[in-house]
Chains A and B, each alone.
Chain A
Amino acid sequence: MTASSGAGSVGPRTGRRHGARHSGRGLTRWLFLLPALVLLAVLIVYPIGDAIRLAFTSWDGFSAPHSIGLSNFEDLLKDKRFKESLLHNLAIVVAIPIWIAVPYAVACGIHTKVAGWRFFRLVFFLPVVLSPVVLGAYYGIVLAESGPLNGALRSVGLGGLAHEWLNDPALTLPVVIGIIIWATFGVGVLIFLAGLANLDEEIVEAAQVDGASRWQIQRHVVFWQLLPVIEFWTVIIVIASFTAFFPLIYTLTKGGPGTATFTVDFDLYSEAFTSGRLGYASAIGVVMMFIILVTCGGLVALLRWRRS
């Protein structure tokens, strides 16, 4: 159990040459692996290639796709809604520090065994098990103009704070991002708690003996020991920031008001299955894949560089 999260290392070691003598002849071994490999090859590896091929075609979902060269990508450059979607994803990326800080702080709070910490640990996990569809429908009702939140604000005399949470172009995207952070922070708390449980208590105690303040310990001891876990969580949410928003947006805002909450994954879905432009949507998918590859690759490279 050393500290290398899945962040980018080429995976745990498996090359242990052992126990092979009993394992039968060559082919039977592969028979264990084959069904999974075939399924992955057909439904994941092949589609990746097909996604790239389709990006250079025009396809309406009925007739056969026909090749149109680069014109999907040329159109993307002029596509206002797509650019706006990209900007919204950028806003989500900008919110990532909050997405890291909230579960980190909560996990540290639980780790100090604040009163009722067992209860909190349990309850903070509750939103995680609920479908984004359920959360979207729930917030759709609660945040409605005449919904309970505005009602509560008005009844305690804070009517000035009542907003059209889901119908205000400037407000709705932050609301959606906030809901996603809220819906996923329970996983982060669990992950950070697992990291805190593996903390080297001796170093913490040594720091206490040396008279370090609580904040100094947090800043110089705990933080650095948790860094691999923080990196692990960061990679998870970077991927999630491109893919976790669709179900919530689909149920909560449908990309609206106007295009205020269009994200790249929602734009891809709408182009494909609302406008029937599946080739064009494939081009969006390819751009998205490229962006995630570059972002994650850059992130991993940055982390490696910093570590050495």
Chain B
Amino acid sequence: MNAAADSPPLRPRLTARRGIGRPSVGKLAIFVIFAALAASCIYPLLFVASTALRTNADYRASPGGLPSSFTSENFERAFSQLHIGRLALNSLMVVVPAVILIAILACCAAYALVHLEIRLSRLLLAAVICMMALPPTVLLIPIFKLVLDVGLLNNRLGLILVYTALNLPFSIYLLTAFMRSVPVELLRAAGIDGAGPVRTLWSVVLPLIRPGLMTLVTLNFLFLWNELIFSLVILQQGMGRTIMVGIAQFQAQPEKNYGVVAAGLLLSMIPPLLIFVFFQRDLARGLTAGATK
């Protein structure tokens, strides 16, 4: 809608060059719109980076412009006031165990559902798909109550288990698609060679579904690193908060310092951006799973 509103000017050189090749008004129009949309997607990065690197006075002088001088003060204060290092560590201590746990449980479950003859496996998979469609907000209060009742409120283990459960349905569903691509003959051969199901899963199936596993791990890491609401409710205590909760609360202060907020945002974007750069393909594969099947 208003996505293109804050776009910097586009690059006329490229547009012109394309125009020479095949003078099509339609293609030029598409290009111009795409360039504006692309600018709106890149601008957040540029803006946050430039705001984080300049002083507050410099920012106020021209909020959208380029910095006239650089400072590292915002980053120092992101560590000392926002405790961004501590928050990032908190997030990692929840997200990494959860991602590993999800991968293990989803692998075993998908393997059993697809390749071990289990009664009701169709019904179970249908149930898993129904859970995928369930909006997590509906579960917020009963899960809060459950975590409270078993004494895991403000305890990382509570959030790890909740994250694992919430992301299992999607993860199992995703892996079943990859499980099905494992040739049955290979499993039979392993069985004839005397390998039990555990051995077969470990040394035959896992190497074959490694791309699926990569997709699963990157996607879950991204989801959980970026998650807010359950983290907000389950880890309420000051020093255990995850990075997104910390940033959300810090930026809500009326006296906030834009530079420090921007520095925090920039640092919190590092893991997602690394995933974006190095695991694009895995993300795309995971997010389109189901669309063309």
Contacts and interface: CB of A to CB of B under 8 A. Distances in A.
A29 B117 contact: yes
Contact of A116 (B2, B34, B188): B34
Contacts of B83: none
Contact of A133 (B3, B106, B226): B226
A77 B137 CA distance: 21
A98 B1 contact: yes
Contacts of B288: 190-191, 194
A229 B291 CA distance: 6
B112 A32 contact: yes
Most chain-B Cβ atoms within 10 A of its Cβ — which of A24, A47, A175, A242? A47
A149 interface: yes
Most chain-B Cβ atoms within 10 A of its Cβ — which of A12, A116, A178? A12
Given A54-B145, A285-B141, A20 B116 contact: yes
A139 B180 CA distance: 43
Contacts of A32: 108-109, 111-112, 116, 197, 201
Interface stretch (A67-75, A79-87, A140-148, A205-213): A140-148
Contact of A134 (B114, B148, B233, B265): B265
A22 B131 CA distance: 31
B131 A40 contact: yes
Tell me the interface secondary structure of chain B in the complex: helix
B244 interface: yes
A97 interface: no
Contacts of A120: 34, 37-38
Interface string B95-117: 00000000001101101111111
A161 B241 CA distance: 40
B291 A5 contact: yes
Interface residues on A, range: 35 or more
Given A33-B109, A47-B139, A114 B6 contact: no
B225 interface: yes
B248 A133 contact: yes
Given A29-B112, A134-B247, A285-B140, A21 B191 contact: yes
B210 interface: no
Interface in A51-110: 51, 54, 59, 61, 98, 106, 109
Nearest to B201: A32
Given A30-B118, A33-B108, A198-B292, A116 B228 contact: no
Interface string A258-296: 000000010011001100001001100110110010001
A182 interface: yes
Nearest to A41: B165
Interface string B173-204: 10011001000100110111001111011000
B258 to A, nearest CB: 6
Contacts of A50: 142, 145-146
Contacts of B34: 106, 109, 114, 116, 120
A21 B188 CA distance: 8
B44 A15 contact: no
Contacts, number: 345
B161 interface: yes
B133 A22 contact: no
Given A22-B190, A151-B64, A285-B140, A129 B272 contact: yes
B67 to A, nearest CB: 13
A198 B31 CA distance: 24
A148 to B, nearest CB: 3
Contact of B251 (A2, A39, A137, A174): A137
Interface in A209-229: 229
- 8 tightest A-B CB contacts, nearest first: A22-B191, A148-B64, A20-B117, A131-B226, A178-B1, A43-B165, A47-B142, A32-B112
27 contacts: A14-B125, A20-B117, A22-B195, A23-B200, A29-B112, A32-B201, A33-B108, A33-B118, A51-B138, A54-B142, A115-B27, A124-B41, A127-B41, A129-B276, A130-B226, A131-B228, A133-B228, A133-B248, A134-B244, A134-B269, A135-B44, A137-B251, A185-B3, A233-B291, A272-B140, A272-B144, A282-B141
Given A21-B188, A24-B197, A178-B1, 18 more contacts: A2-B293, A5-B291, A10-B126, A11-B128, A17-B117, A18-B115, A28-B196, A36-B106, A36-B109, A125-B276, A131-B268, A134-B269, A136-B248, A149-B64, A151-B62, A181-B1, A232-B291, A251-B252
Interface of A: 1-2, 4-6, 10-24, 28-30, 32-33, 35-37, 39-40, 42-44, 46-48, 50-51, 54, 59, 61, 98, 106, 109, 112, 114-116, 119-120, 122-138, 140-142, 146-149, 151-152, 174-175, 177-178, 181-182, 185-187, 190-191, 194-195, 197-198, 229, 232-233, 235, 239, 242-243, 246-247, 250-251, 254, 265, 268-269, 272-273, 278, 281-282, 285-286, 288-289, 292, 296
